[in-house]
Structure 1
Amino acid sequence: MADADILDLLIIGGGVNGAGVARDAAGRGLKVALLEAGDIGGATSSASSKLVHGGLRYLEFREFALVRKALAEREVILRNAPHISRPMPFLLPLEPHLRPRWMIGLGLFLYDHLARRREVPGSRAVELQKDAAGPAFARHLRRAFRYWDGWIDDSRLVILNARDAADRGALIAPRDPVTAARRTDFGWEVETASGRRVAARRLLNCAGPWAGEVAGRLMGLADAPRLSLVQGGHIVTRKLNRTADAWMLQQPDGRIIFVIPWEGEFSLIGTTETPVDSPDAPKLTEAEEAYLLAAVNRSLAKPLSGADIVHRFAGIRPLVLEEGKGARETTRDWQLVPHAGQQAMTVVGGKITTYRLLAEAVLKQLFPETKRWTHNAPLPGGDVPRLGGTARADFDQWLMQLKLNHNLYDPAIVTRMAHLWGTEADGMLSAGLGANMGGLFEAELQHMRDREWATTAEDVLWRRTKMGLHMDAAGQAKVRAFFGGPA
């Protein structure tokens, strides 16, 4: 095989870690390919709680370095992706018989000061009876803390990293699972289900919950990492949050449940931590649903029932196996497993907030001669004009001007598109959106098909957008017909 046909790096797995490494590597001038068995970001990385956070609860386990790292990276993400992320206030109601007020206050003081903070305010105490959010809570909850973290569209984060990687020359190949991988004189050669053959000097296993299987069965390596597979389940209801605040609810078993404003009309409730044996076909169980309902009902003035649930989803988190620890105590930091003498590495663990740092760590080991560049590099659509304020203030100013520039459109349409496509929405609006497909426009469907690897209605309705929550059956049928499925 000619040297020109051999890539520098081949990545197996198109979740946030694989897409982040592909983007960073391509931007360093490396020849890169990313192979994914399903949709880009179609598994764990689109089934998270959609938070960019330091991990307040990790302070309880003295994970200070991880929290500091994540808090600093929260600022980077909010700055570089203002269209798909935003600062979000969180209410933490005090349960006197659980974690005491002084402990939570101390934890929040550390949380506010462990890393430089520009994009989000600091925390403060709240009297719920005097706060607009208060009527949603049960009467026994009187005091709370309000602190700040970030929210992000997890699926779009993965797609935009893959997009940027492709724009910089990387090969992105979804829905083409690797069927064989073998060592060669120069590194590795893999074959996929479509018959594609790809050769590379180094192989990176970013298969998430399937990383152990890929390392052992496909790559034939005996030092595959041991994983603890944990299912995180979520339910979606009509909006519970009376204000823009998310809620962080303490549970008697020591766990935390989030109730997050989502898509304007809904609340996202999660997550569970259920050990599972297989990463395939995650599905919220009846026991998990009951747990989430009971958990949130402890704090609600008006309890929920199963009839209030409008959507359910679950994802599998691959945690680094730590003997003697349960899922709650297991670290969310990553582990890089270099397979000695094999020109290969497996990545396990990590969290969405620190995906970019993980990519830098991988490339520092594999290609130490290359230089970092992503710290101040906006993701596609995130290059709004910087006016010297916070990223959110600058985005809001840009959005106001976008509405003025396209005042023939309903402002709600412009706003929705701005939060999906960022600055790329301007070109779509200027060129014309085409037919209304029941809530999404033809130009948007074409963009997702041509630039974002969408091939099914599911890709569009539940990952690249969340319009499956908003569109009626007729609109969803139009989207399916666009992609060649049954109306």
Structure 2
Amino acid sequence: MTQQMMDTEKTPEPFAAGLPFGAGAALDPLRRDADLAELSRDLLDVLVVGGGATGTGAALDAASRGLTTALVEGGDLASGTSSNSSRLLHGGVRYLEQMEFGLVREALHERGLLQDLAPHLVRRMSFLYPLTHRVWERGYVGAGLTLYDALAGMGDRHGFRRHRHLSRRGLLRQVPQLRPDAAVGALRYEDGHVDDARLVLTLARTAAREGATVLSRVKVTGLASRSDHTVATCVDVLSGAEFRIRARRVILATGPWSGLAQKMLGAGDVRVRASKGVHLVFSRERLPLDSALIARTPSSVLFVIPTGDVVLLGTTDTPWEIGPGPVLPTGADVRYLLDQANQWLREPLRRSDVVGVYAGLRPLVDQPDRQDTQAISREHVVREVAPGCVVVAGGKLTTYRVMARDAVDAVAAGLRAVRPSATEHLALVGASGFAQSWTRRDAVATAAGLPVSAVERLARRYGSDYPALLAMGRRDPGLLAPVPGAPSLLAAEVLYAARHEAAMTVDDVLLRRSRAGLETPDGGAAAAPHVAELLAGALGRGAEWAREQAEEYVRAAEVRRSALDASDDSELAPLLDALAGRGSGAA
């Protein structure tokens, strides 16, 4: 990296909202040593374990109430469930059939609220529900969507339009890719879409802005409850150093692995079952949809979701019996999804059309009377499992804020006077001034010499911070060029990810800060050396580190691809061992 690049990163210009670039919200890995030393000295009010949507939401909630707060995550932020979802903010139409009216109402409220708190991350999306029966199904599904609209609130101020009916001709006019004989008509309604990983990163940065210490790659290896506090034994994954954090209250937001965290405390009151959800990624050219599709399958729900330059196809809902670590899709998962989608499509999708595949786990609170994971309620649970230690589990991405609020309410009891939750009114980083900066995107694109589509993509990722990334290009125009091998990722974004979003590895950048590793046919392999070089300069690493980073990313991508040759989960053990043995890659 040139000295000019480094200077550009260190001395950014103010952004459109008039605030200092990243003021108070930077997650800078170069500050880790100081943060770790401070954590091991002080007695915290709240320690949050787990860096997904619920954990980062809890850290934000606690810090915004004035509690001294830290969050630790053993891997990268959003590296588990919260970067591998369907990326939807929705009430859950299918939960109406399970009579979960309270859950649906709550989720619909949060769907609209998050559009206020993070308008740059959330957008409305049109969904089409194809009908295959002429009379009863239209009435049945229509009644459900009427209730859905009512639970959201008539005249929804957030702009989500009420459902309407389409004839077969109307459906095919909107989605000509469907087989003419596949449906007799459809119902159209709206829900929300969000990049789940970007949401988590934004929550983490907002928590830091409110005063929380947020540290990734810090693994909790032990928890010991004392009379007035809990001691967490931790390992810095980067250095191997062991240290301890003392906190009056602990929130365990560890998702599918909640049982392991409870075992450290000698507890096991909350049992969580993991359900694997797999998604396929296609180019928008191969599947040029403007509206999303939703349909029933024998064991899950089929979503076809256009987002950016790609289309997501998911999802599966099968039990995952393998222990903590990476989650991989198999060839059987891919075949199942292709088979389900091809029942509807005029031109069948083939495995060769698949650009990327990803898998994540849903953390479902166990219900012994329900054997199938798709039948388990998505309600969340907050329960004290040891003095001062609370587990929050279950739920869904859409209701992360409610889960976080409930968890902090639970641990606030017995502490000094604690303010009520304020997150319902607390805009996330990038929201302030977004509307104004969005309206100026054409002029900004012209001044930067970029296509408007590139500026719009930056605005959707970074909100009102995006002009600061463009400001880097005024001193080094090369930073506004796409990273070779990753057309949707600018070089400036890699620097931003390293200095402001706690990115430490090529994985972090290509799989979570951006989705280039899922949206290019080679899985981001061609981009890896270039990303590694940029990261090395930003993090003060050398050429050897960059080479090892790139090689490690490519090896992992090959392992993930080879998993698609497995017939089922039972054949994944050697591949999971290979991925788990990679280490952090950041040391």
Q: TM-score, normalised by structure 2?
A: 0.77
Match of residue 188 from structure 2: 146
1:309-349 per-residue CA deviation (whole Å, 9 max, x = no partner) reads 11011011110111131111111110112125x11111110
1:480 Cα offset (Å):
2.1
What secondary structure sits across from 1:354 in the alignment?
helix
What secondary structure sits across from 2:224 in the alignment?
strand
8 Å Cα contact 1:402-1:426 kept in structure 2:
no
1:212 Cα offset (Å):
0.5
What secondary structure sits across from 1:322 in the alignment?
coil
Q: 1:196 aligns with which of 237, 243, 260?
A: 243
8 Å Cα contact 2:40-2:244 kept in structure 1:
no
**Alpha-carbon distance in 2 for matches of 1:413, 1:233:** 29
8 Å Cα contact 2:205-2:501 kept in structure 1:
yes
Match of residue 13 from structure 2: none
1:431 Cα offset (Å):
4.1
Match of residue 157 from structure 2: 118
1:250 Cα offset (Å):
2.0
Task: Flag structure 2 segments of 5+ consecutive residues without an equivalent.
Answer: 1-37, 237-241, 536-544, 551-587
How many pairs are equivalent?
472
Match of residue 576 from structure 2: none
1:222-273 per-residue CA deviation (whole Å, 9 max, x = no partner) reads x34111111111111223654421100222x263200000222x21011101
Q: 1:273 aligns with which of 286, 292, 317?
A: 317
Equivalent position amino acid for 2:213 in 1: L
1:197-222 per-residue CA deviation (whole Å, 9 max, x = no partner) reads 21100111111111111111x2222x
1:304 Cα offset (Å):
1.1
1:405 Cα offset (Å):
3.8
CA RMSD of aligned residues (A): 2.2
What secondary structure sits across from 2:345 in the alignment?
coil
Q: Percent same amino acid among aligned pairs?
A: 34
1:353-399 per-residue CA deviation (whole Å, 9 max, x = no partner) reads 000011111122221532121112221111236xxxxxxxxx4x642
Equivalent position amino acid for 1:118 in 2: R
8 Å Cα contact 2:46-2:251 kept in structure 1:
yes
Match of residue 485 from structure 1: 546
**Alpha-carbon distance in 2 for matches of 1:473, 1:424:** 29
1:60 Cα offset (Å):
0.5
Equivalent position amino acid for 2:443 in 1: L
What secondary structure sits across from 2:441 in the alignment?
helix
What secondary structure sits across from 1:38 in the alignment?
coil
Match of residue 392 from structure 1: none
What secondary structure sits across from 1:382 in the alignment?
coil
8 Å Cα contact 1:80-1:383 kept in structure 2:
no
Q: 1:210 aligns with which of 241, 257, 265?
A: 257
Q: Give the 3 Å change call, closer, same or farther, for CA 345–404 of structure 1 in structure 2.
A: same
Equivalent position amino acid for 1:420 in 2: R
8 Å Cα contact 2:301-2:316 kept in structure 1:
no
What secondary structure sits across from 1:427 in the alignment?
helix
What secondary structure sits across from 1:83 in the alignment?
coil
What secondary structure sits across from 1:280 in the alignment?
coil
Q: Give the 3 Å change call, closer, same or farther, for CA 2–184 of structure 1 in structure 2.
A: farther
Whether 1:184 aligns to 2:245 is: no
**Alpha-carbon distance in 2 for matches of 1:454, 1:98:** 53
Whether 1:67 aligns to 2:104 is: yes
**Alpha-carbon distance in 2 for matches of 1:443, 1:63:** 45
Equivalent position amino acid for 1:212 in 2: G
Match of residue 163 from structure 1: 205
**Alpha-carbon distance in 2 for matches of 1:263, 1:424:** 20
1:149 Cα offset (Å):
0.2
Match of residue 553 from structure 2: none
Task: Flag structure 1 segments of 5+ consecutive residues without an equivalent.
Answer: 386-394
**Alpha-carbon distance in 2 for matches of 1:292, 1:474:** 28
Match of residue 399 from structure 1: 438
Equivalent position amino acid for 1:303 in 2: P
**Alpha-carbon distance in 2 for matches of 1:364, 1:463:** 30
What secondary structure sits across from 1:122 in the alignment?
coil
Q: TM-score, normalised by structure 1?
A: 0.92
1:287 Cα offset (Å):
1.7
Pick the structure with more helix per residue. 2
Match of residue 426 from structure 1: 467
Which has the higher mean CA deviation after the structures are superposed, 449-458 or 471-480? 471-480
8 Å Cα contact 1:133-1:241 kept in structure 2:
no
Whether 1:408 aligns to 2:447 is: yes
**Alpha-carbon distance in 1 for matches of 2:39, 2:358:** 46
Whether 1:23 aligns to 2:64 is: no
Match of residue 465 from structure 1: 514
Which has the higher mean CA deviation after the structures are superposed, 75-84 or 33-42? 75-84
**Alpha-carbon distance in 2 for matches of 1:405, 1:482:** 25
Match of residue 539 from structure 2: none
Equivalent position amino acid for 1:467 in 2: A
1:472 Cα offset (Å):
6.5
Match of residue 173 from structure 1: 215
Whether 1:127 aligns to 2:176 is: no
8 Å Cα contact 1:47-1:313 kept in structure 2:
yes
